[in-house]
Amino acid sequence: MLRALELAANGPERGINPRVGCVIAAPDGTILGEGWHRGAGTAHAEIAALAAAGADAVRGATAIVTLEPCNHTGRTGPCVDALLGAGIARVVYAVADPGADSSGGGARLRAAGVDVEAGVLAADVDAFLGDWMTTAKLGRPLVTLKWASSLDGRAAASDGSSQWITGAESRNDTHLLRSQHDAIAVGSGTVLADNPSLTARASDGSLLPDQPVPVVFGARSIPEGAKLRQHPRPFQHVDGHDLAAVLRQLRESGIRSLFIEGGPTLASAFVRAGLVDSFVAYLAPTLLGGDRVALTDLGVDTIDGALRLAITDVARLGDDVRITLTPKGQ
């Protein structure tokens, strides 16, 4: 299984599909073939390993694979069918496939008379798969909500100006976080008011190697001269009425992590819907007062209904403080 995990690491880190490795071994332990999944639309790890071993060698052999063989037809056929057709006698895998459509491969193999062992190095493989496992279980991307505010929770001054509440260190840190997410989201109101580029940039203004896909929530059209139209990746314009449905759609397009930066309306809607997995707040040691708050109505009427968060990290960035939190009980 350790060798299968090594092979899995050859696959692409991002995208809708997990990184999976497979080893085909003879009854005496001799390795007959190896394979890994190279990305969406390509042969799964089991298929690649079977092909490397050759049809004449694999009958009665063991397939060792990091993830439970899939049991559904997507861009490729079920790996279960390929293993049964090849005459594999034993299958060993680490973690169960969490997908509603793709799971059940182990049970089907057992029903067909294949010796199946599950859970080998499960903790290692689960940690390796990381956010893919989480998003597969959730059926949506992981959502990080970020805002920058004054100490009294204002995201802008009374006249609407907001550049710059926080210092350069916080802004540089925000760009790094952007680059670590598959997509960055704002509302159409933010696009119209602020005309953001939504790129991830270094302190000298140059583009970082990893750029998030820009996503705009809302029905209002995007002007032809909007900066995000110059983004190195095409933007997606989505209807924001059903956030859960949009998130499912984004995951199906290969987005596993979403960084929300845009405006109190969009931010508050995600919080109200219970769709935020992580909060990142940059607090500047300044007071603004007024009604330009970072978040608006969250559906909280009493203190007993407050949304309680757990602090996972606190860091000082120049004069500012960055606090990272998750919903309690998560």
Residue 155 near residue 283, CB atoms below 8 Å: no
**CATH classification number, 2-136, choose in 3.40.50.2300, 3.60.40.10, 3.40.140.10, 2.60.120.10:** 3.40.140.10
Average pLDDT over residues 242-247: 94
* Rg of the chain in Å (alpha carbons): 24
Whether 46 is catalytic is yes
What is the C-alpha to C-alpha distance for residues 292 and 16, in angstroms, rounded to an integer?
38
Residue 74 near residue 47, CB atoms below 8 Å: no
The domains of the chain are located at 2-136, 139-327
Tell me the pLDDT tens digit for each residue of 202-243: 988 899 999 999 999 988 888 998 999 999 999 999 987 899
Tell me the pLDDT tens digit for each residue of 121-176: 999 999 999 888 888 888 899 999 999 999 988 887 777 666 788 999 999 999 99
pLDDT > 90 fraction of the chain, expressed in percent and rounded: 65
User: Measuring CA to CA, how many Å separate 276 from each of 170, 269, 322, 325, 328?
Assistant: 21, 10, 17, 10, 12
Choice among 6, 13, 34, 46 that is catalytic: 46
Global pTM value: 0.81
Largest CA distance in the chain: 76
What is the C-alpha to C-alpha distance for residues 241 and 223, in angstroms, rounded to an integer?
21
Domain 139-327 has CATH 3.40.430.10: yes
Token couple for 70:
């899939």
